[in-house]
């Protein structure tokens, strides 16, 4: 049996970095909202596990988080789960939109379905990535700790314009820069992202104050009154852009 699941993106409506922990990870406080922009993951039982990818370029092979999520679930259930995956990438990588984490959560959900598992994947999700637990259900939530403590919130319908300057940022590098310079609301990683790559600071300056960075960057979003206003907001930009809207929980 085959299943196809949208792996939706997220926006960090704000982001506060609380502190760096002794283990090197950072505690945060952020309101996360899933949006309609998505990758598409197909999965079906197979004789051997394989992953095909098209669309935007992302890591292949064992370095892809879909296969990491697959391996984590196999470890928990104690048996092989041979699966053929096909992933179409529509979310820019290294943009702070959560594409990889959403792919991982979609893989865990798909594996439960195609292999008839009763396993609680929420306990596995955090071991795969800090944002993966959020994408198990999506919607809107307050995320605390390293992202594992989630408090679901009502989803408010909203339209967003998104702009990405084709710059892939390393989350670890951005947080390392935050250790040196800290930051300011609404996203306390903005200054750190600009230090990690000067082009991000220049991009933010060109967009103006109405735009806000999501996650550790490098994508920016602007909340708009409706779809028409959002389309006008990106009309003159010479980078990757899209218009999307908020979506509620899916599980």
Both 10 and 128 in one domain: the answer is yes
Upstream peptide bond of 194 is cis (omega within 30 degrees of 0): no
Tell me the two tokens of residue 59.
Answer: 């890591």
Both 136 and 20 in one domain: the answer is yes
Is 52 inside any structural domain? yes
> What does the pLDDT read at residue 148?
87
> What does the pLDDT read at residue 251?
62
Both 115 and 233 in one domain: the answer is no
Is 81 inside any structural domain? yes
Is 234 inside any structural domain? yes
Identify which of 245, 21, 241 has the alpha carbon closest to the alpha carbon of residue 144: 21
Identify which of 238, 237, 211, 241 has the alpha carbon closest to the alpha carbon of residue 224: 211
Is 176 inside any structural domain? yes
CA distance 139 to 125: 16
Tell me the two tokens of residue 62.
Answer: 């064992």
CA distance 88 to 217: 22
Both 33 and 94 in one domain: the answer is yes
Both 169 and 140 in one domain: the answer is no
Region of 23 please: left (phi>0), alpha (psi -120 to 50) or beta.
alpha
Tell which of 108, 136, 153 closes a domain: 153
Both 174 and 215 in one domain: the answer is yes
Identify which of 12, 251, 16 has the alpha carbon closest to the alpha carbon of residue 145: 16
| Secondary structure class of 2 (helix, strand, coil) | coil
CATH number at residue 78: 3.30.230.10
Tell which of 118, 135, 153 closes a domain: 153
Is 251 inside any structural domain? no
What secondary structure letter does DSSP report for 246?
B
Both 164 and 143 in one domain: the answer is no
Is 236 inside any structural domain? yes
Both 41 and 93 in one domain: the answer is yes
The catalytic site residues sit at: 10, 131
Q: How many domains does the chain divide into?
A: 2
Is 135 inside any structural domain? yes
Both 177 and 120 in one domain: the answer is no
Tell which of 101, 131, 153 closes a domain: 153
Is 92 inside any structural domain? yes
Give the contacts of 162 (CB within 8 A, at least 6 positions apart).
Answer: 37, 97, 219, 220, 221, 234, 241, 242, 243, 244
| Secondary structure class of 212 (helix, strand, coil) | strand
Both 177 and 144 in one domain: the answer is no
Both 169 and 240 in one domain: the answer is yes
CA atoms in the 13 A half-sphere facing the CB of 102: 32
pTM of structure: 0.96
Both 172 and 148 in one domain: the answer is no
CATH number at residue 240: 3.30.70.890
Answer whether 196's CB lies under 8 Å from 211's CB: no
Structural domain of 228? 159-245
What residues of the chain score a pLDDT lower than 70? 251
Tell me the two tokens of residue 226.
Answer: 């409706």
CA distance 185 to 164: 20
């Amino acid at each position: 049996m085959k299943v196809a699941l949208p792996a939706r993106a997220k926006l960090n409506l704000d982001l506060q970095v609380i502190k760096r922990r002794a283990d090197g990870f950072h505690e945060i406080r952020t309101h996360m909202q899933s949006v309609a922009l998505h990758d598409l993951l197909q999965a079906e039982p197979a004789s051997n596990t394989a992953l095909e990818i098209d669309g935007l370029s992302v890591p292949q092979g064992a370095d892809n988080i879909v296969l990491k999520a697959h391996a984590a679930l196999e470890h928990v259930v104690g048996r092989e789960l041979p699966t053929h995956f096909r992933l179409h990438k529509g979310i820019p990588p290294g943009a702070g939109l959560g594409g990889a984490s959403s792919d991982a959560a979609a893989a865990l959900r798909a594996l439960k379905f195609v292999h008839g598992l009763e396993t609680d994947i929420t306990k596995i999700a955090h071991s795969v990535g800090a944002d993966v637990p959020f994408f198990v259900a999506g919607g809107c939530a307050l995320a605390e700790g390293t992202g594992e403590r989630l408090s679901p919130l009502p989803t408010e319908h909203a339209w967003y314009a998104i702009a990405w300057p084709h710059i892939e940022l390393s989350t670890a590098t951005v947080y390392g820069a935050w250790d040196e310079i800290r930051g300011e609301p609404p996203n306390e990683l903005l200054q750190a992202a600009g230090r990690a790559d000067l082009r991000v600071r220049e991009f933010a300056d060109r967009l103006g104050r109405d735009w806000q960075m999501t996650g550790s960057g490098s994508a920016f979003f602007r909340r708009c009154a409706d779809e028409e206003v959002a389309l006008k907001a990106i009309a003159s930009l010479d980078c990757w852009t899209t218009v999307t809207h908020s979506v509620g929980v899916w599980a």
